[in-house]
Structure 1
Amino acid sequence: MNSLDLRREEPERSFLREGFTGQRMSVLPRPRVKLALDSPATANLVVTDCGYFPNARHHGRTRHKGITQTVVLMCVKGSGWVRVDGYAPTEVNAGEAAILPAGIPHAYAASDQDPWTLWWLHVEGPGAAAFLAALNARALPAIRRMADPVRMASLASEVVTWHEKDTTDASLIASSGAAAHLLALLATDQLPGPGVHAAVESIVEHLRNNITARVSVDGLAAMAGLSRSHFAALFKERTGFPVVQFQTQLRMQRARELLDTTNTPIERIAGLVGYDDPFYFARMFKKVHGISPRQYRNHEKG
């Protein structure tokens, strides 16, 4: 039995919930949480609890019934483990975040040998559910490598600072905004993982850098060293779009830039974004934007 298995069988009394030197922590009174969720300005997302635990030796929690909030643990130093009901314990290392969905029993604890330093927050509201959907997690707990842990920690510190200030509407709106920014980055701005995920990430970058190239799913799958079906599924999971639709979005983004910032003829723009037929380009542009390229250029913006 490995160390993770041993720790997950320890009684909850062996864990420290808080009390670490240099810690920061704020817990919003539950009646105030209810008021915030009923307020239009914060109804989508409320940070109910948040904090910073440095060198949190013996830190851990076991929740046998889960809680109503989604828990986000961001490890910036050291390591630990998390476990969701029905799954084996999973290690969490420096530079990784663990997401524990609301309503599911779970447990987590710092490593004995190298205890983690954590930024953490609990979030509630429809925005928390949308964040979980955006993660496209296939397994629980969801573990994500943070592309920029310093930036994530800065946003987490901003959340805690607003909570420490007071519980006015203004402070809760500010903390919700910072938390929403953090969650959005966590869901989208991730380092490519090893193996197939890195291969898919390289294809995404290839498409961004070659928007005029003709593509085929078979050809891109071969570049990634994957079967067509596996590649297509992973690509859509990563971008939210099938390959051709993703490329169309990239082309239309570039077309909008050219229409907004240059006087280049529309027929020429069509070629610059990969369309030999300007009439087909115009049809695709209208399909995406609801208006023609000429109407878009003439439409007052800003």
Structure 2
Amino acid sequence: MTLFTDPARAIPDGFPGEKMLVLPRPRVREVMSKPGMSHLVVTDCGYFPEARSHGRIRRVPISQAVVIICSKGKGWCSTEEGRFDVHAGQAIILPPHRVHSYGADAHDPWTLWWLHVDGLDIDGFLSYAGMTIEAPVRTLSDMYATVSLVAEVIQWMERDTTDSSLLSAAGAAWHLMALLASDRSSVGGTGAAIEQAANYLRSHANKRVSVTDLAAMAGLSNSHFATLFRSHTGFAVLHFQTQLRMSNAREFLDTTAMSVEEIARAVGYEDSFYFARLFKKVHGQSPSAYRKHDKG
């Protein structure tokens, strides 16, 4: 398989106005040996504005995950599963230990914010979040927040390579990875429709909403929608809605003097006894006991 069509013309770096920071590999090994720091380490990061002719081909896999945020222009990436177009407002997440390549569009070259991350938790996290070579591109719900976090990583890496700076960079990188994990919609897939359905449930948590209605809005069959929803959120539709209602119920119990019956109705249950049984199943205690329990 051809990972890059014209590697002779591609350049990996050296763009006007770029920033590029590389943690010395002996320092990487030192940090990776420290129990408190080894879960995630930023090894490289940078910013490439209008990176014309930018490209990278890795036939030999590296141990770091590569995260690229395209804030302007266009580009592409390629894995063992094929080639994927990338546009402004999208991110590429390439897992470690897999061959890959990527490059700028010839006519509208991308502007990139990027980092490499290593650590004990990376493989498991990427797998759980669905960040795989089969779906390496995600559309960002908030590009500004995402770019700000990469900029924060760069700021800490520019400061120095002390443990405190590297921990701060890792903290921003974890926040970034969490945001990317929550943006579950991959290009060409149905993730966006499922996330819209989840948002609909969030805004209508106290209303009766059926799987049939949600599937119809997404343009999917009931069974296909239910399978995708569980894969996307980690919950079945009913369980997801129950968790939303219980979250609202906890807030009412913590912040108001409303009775259990009033709270049950407010969160979508006409039967307060059923609500109380369900609350106890979720929390291990009744609503009244929860209200009396010290919190905070």
Match of 1:225 among 219, 223, 226: 219
Residue 233 of structure 1 and its aligned partner are, at CA, apart by 1.5
Q: Secondary structure at the match of 1:223?
A: helix
Change (3 A) 1:222 1:55: closer
Equivalent in the alignment of 1:118: 112
Equivalent in the alignment of 1:8: 4
Equivalent in the alignment of 1:47: 42
| Deviating more after overlay: 248-257 vs 179-188 | 179-188
Equivalent in the alignment of 2:194: 200
Alignment size in residue pairs: 295
Q: Aligned ranges for residues 147-166 of structure 1 at < 5 Å?
A: 147-166=141-160
Q: Is this contact kept in 1: 2:71–2:111, CA < 8 A?
A: yes
Q: Is this contact kept in 2: 1:145–1:191, CA < 8 A?
A: yes
The reply to whether residue 81 of structure 1 matches residue 76 of structure 2 is yes
Change (3 A) 1:37 1:286: farther
Equivalent in the alignment of 2:275: 281
Residue 194 of structure 1 and its aligned partner are, at CA, apart by 7.5
The reply to whether residue 65 of structure 1 matches residue 60 of structure 2 is yes
What whole-Å deviation, never above 9, does each CA across 1:176-235 have from its counterpart, x for those lacking one? Answer: 010111111111146797884444333222222222223332333233321111101221
Equivalent in the alignment of 1:241: 235
Sequence identity, in percent? 52
For the residues of structure 1 that align with 2:190 and 2:49, how far apart are their CA atoms?
34
Letter in 1 for 2:49: P
Q: TM-score, normalised by structure 2?
A: 0.92
**CA RMSD in angstroms, aligned pairs only:** 2.2
What whole-Å deviation, never above 9, does each CA across 1:73-127 have from its counterpart, x for those lacking one? Answer: 1111111111112x33211111111111111111111122121111111111244
Unaligned 5+ residue runs, structure 2? none
Q: Aligned ranges for residues 282-301 of structure 1 at < 5 Å?
A: 282-301=276-295
Residue 251 of structure 1 and its aligned partner are, at CA, apart by 0.4
Letter in 2 for 1:160: I
| Deviating more after overlay: 71-80 vs 245-254 | 71-80
For the residues of structure 2 that align with 1:218 and 1:94, how far apart are their CA atoms?
34
Q: Is this contact kept in 2: 1:236–1:243, CA < 8 A?
A: yes
For the residues of structure 2 that align with 1:108 and 1:176, how far apart are their CA atoms?
24
Unaligned 5+ residue runs, structure 1? none
Change (3 A) 1:193 1:79: closer
For the residues of structure 2 that align with 1:41 and 1:16, how far apart are their CA atoms?
36
Letter in 1 for 2:51: A
Equivalent in the alignment of 1:186: 180
| Deviating more after overlay: 65-74 vs 232-241 | 232-241
